[in-house]
Structure 1
């Protein structure tokens, strides 16, 4: 795909990630025999000096939950826990094929979350690429761990904006069902444009709040952050975004939780199974903001 569309592509393996200090992503991957990868696609359709939009996708190729093992029922769907990365790749392909006059970078954080004798355990501490330490209280909250390092890597591009997509939380189904994805971010104007793009394409998004109280609930007593909040905090979807915010940089950033929309329903323009949610949304957004 990259060669066909003249997209620069590089794939960072375990050794490269170790040199960069990506302990958060590597921690998730260490229980699996399948090696992790950070896939980076660079589309340059405008002058080099023009800051790019960076799209980051969660690429958990299969999610058992790790040591915090998921129930068996429905685990077959966890092959689709890489839906955020699929949307990222497809969006880059479309942007390039349409030759949009803008710069876009796609980053995929790919890993498999498996239980084994070498897997991370609840209570472990990981050191992320940013230098922040993370207390792992639940190994099934792994998507935010791989995204943390990918979002930090995105800062190398000095982006004008960052969008991440992930099947991050089951809580978003309770909030929005299968009819909209959740958007949470630090820039109201950016979120408004994404909502407009969602209405135009039928891939609707709805904003959830991210308040100071949510950010405080991510603090750990023995590390900088913990990957899940204490029992009773609730707001699971928002808490996922609250964890990601310290890694996302100061530029406009939006997190899109597609766990409720990435698969599992039948519509006139999608089959049952994987929906490709987010490709139409992002393409419309990019075309109108370039």
Structure 2
């Protein structure tokens, strides 16, 4: 879908459909909606009086103009209560409207900058929200489906403004929204791919394409280099698979200094059978998505490179499969991580923390000012927070606050979890420095405390996206399958740190 900002009057804009807003609690249309209503001889007002249009959030009403307007259809969308409106809700409403119109065979849409001037949403933010919502909402993954899609794709969305002097700023806002949505959809594509099409080598190939497209520096460590560095965790997890592990490192240099400002570390288990501690067969196929953290940091750094903030960022992705065979890691084994710590294996299904131990140890050697790791790490986090909130754990409250704020801006809610020292007791081993499972209770916290052993004193936040990386149904701009969380959070965070 091509999205552009144009200067004009929505009532005079030619399109297959135009979208105008209505708020819950209003008795009559206002602004552009009132002008459209007048051109339609009061059709919108009549539907309001008949309680067919109530303005409830995500409500959609379609009216055929029957030649009274250049646009063939008018869609009145409910934005809910004015005082509760947010950019995230605007994105969700636009996504719902675009999916609805796609089913009607619409090729071109025009819309006002939904929500502009309401609840502190400025014009640029409204344009960005509309752009993100449209592109995220119509996303679909059909790469392996040979049957033609039931509905065609929307070809064009025009965001109509009346002030030509603001056009350059609005075009930049539209571009930013497009970059964020496209990066999110890249992560969705990677996570939705079957595991036989998204191996560690495939992830490395995507990284190479991103590096070439956006002038990123790329390093890929193979087994020999991992052995040289003493990466026992990553090597141990990978030894049950015929797919060779990769440590993928992407660098974006937006600042002349040699200081690495932000390191984004993402778990890249391209298929997780559980290893010798094998998972139940039911829904095991979903474990192709256990590389969602790696996909998120790769997509995020691609967006950062396109937006060009003055800051240095790295993305580090340990990529491997976790499979059982005669050479696989076993419960009771002891591994040595890159930083020299020894790890007793209680469960081979707690493999994500093992590969992150080496990735974080390596990252710590880069002297980054901030480290953010992203992982589908624990089912315990999903049990605690469900599918709405990502869990945040860390050692620096200021950085945690910034990550949560970046998530709120993106509409990707994040909830801070406790990290009391006493939780470390559960990770103590009788035969090694630490064990990889601390028991059933507080499983998400003990997993985070395990990771904390490998970051030193560097300000660090761990994001557990086990519950938020996928959605079982369509909701606002989320579609069934991979969500792309937390790509936009990471980009917002980096942009915020660049400004400060």
Equivalence for 1:256: 463
Q: How far does the alpha carbon of each residue in 1:147-198 deviate from its partner, in whole angstroms, 9 at most, with x for none?
A: 0000000012100010000000001111110001000000111111111111
Does the aligned pair in 2 maintain the 1:58–1:143 contact within 8 Å? Answer: yes
Equivalence for 1:215: 424
Equivalence for 1:267: 475
CA-CA distance at 1:218 after TM superposition? 1.1
Q: How far does the alpha carbon of each residue in 1:63-90 deviate from its partner, in whole angstroms, 9 at most, with x for none?
A: 0000000001111110000000000100
Q: How far does the alpha carbon of each residue in 1:24-58 deviate from its partner, in whole angstroms, 9 at most, with x for none?
A: 11000000000000000011000233332000000
Q: How far does the alpha carbon of each residue in 1:192-222 deviate from its partner, in whole angstroms, 9 at most, with x for none?
A: 1111111111101000001111112211111
Q: Distance in 2 between matches of 1:47 and 1:270?
A: 38
Q: Distance in 1 between matches of 2:257 and 2:333?
A: 41
Equivalence for 2:190: none
Alignment of 1:203-242 (within 5 A): 203-230=412-439, 234-242=441-449
Structure showing the higher helix proportion among its residues: 2
Equivalence for 1:109: 318
Deviates more, 1:265-274 or 1:36-45: 265-274
Does the aligned pair in 2 maintain the 1:52–1:157 contact within 8 Å? Answer: no
Quick one: which of 378, 389, 392 aligns to 1:169? 378
Equivalence for 1:280: 488
Alignment of 1:1-290 (within 5 A): 1-230=210-439, 234-265=441-472, 266-290=474-498
- SS class of match (1:285): helix
- SS class of match (1:100): coil
Q: Distance in 2 between matches of 1:38 and 1:217?
A: 29
Does the aligned pair in 1 maintain the 2:220–2:249 contact within 8 Å? Answer: yes
CA-CA distance at 1:102 after TM superposition? 0.4
Does the aligned pair in 2 maintain the 1:68–1:138 contact within 8 Å? Answer: yes
Q: Distance in 2 between matches of 1:224 and 1:142?
A: 17
Does the aligned pair in 2 maintain the 1:65–1:114 contact within 8 Å? Answer: yes
What 5-or-longer segments of structure 2 have no aligned partner?
Answer: 1-209
Does the aligned pair in 2 maintain the 1:125–1:133 contact within 8 Å? Answer: yes
Deviates more, 1:222-231 or 1:170-179: 222-231
CA-CA distance at 1:230 after TM superposition? 3.8
Runs of 4+ residues over 4 Å off in structure 1: none
Does the aligned pair in 1 maintain the 2:364–2:458 contact within 8 Å? Answer: no
Does the aligned pair in 1 maintain the 2:471–2:478 contact within 8 Å? Answer: no
CA-CA distance at 1:257 after TM superposition? 0.1
Q: Distance in 2 between matches of 1:160 and 1:82?
A: 25
TM-score by length of 2: 0.57
Q: Distance in 2 between matches of 1:194 and 1:132?
A: 29
Q: How far does the alpha carbon of each residue in 1:86-130 deviate from its partner, in whole angstroms, 9 at most, with x for none?
A: 001000000001111100000001010001100010000001111
Q: Distance in 2 between matches of 1:189 and 1:161?
A: 11
RMSD: 0.9
Larger RCO: 1 or 2 (CA < 8 Å, sep 6+): 1
User: What is the total number of aligned residue pairs between the two structures?
Assistant: 288
Deviates more, 1:262-271 or 1:221-230: 262-271
CA-CA distance at 1:270 after TM superposition? 2.4
Q: Distance in 2 between matches of 1:268 and 1:86?
A: 22
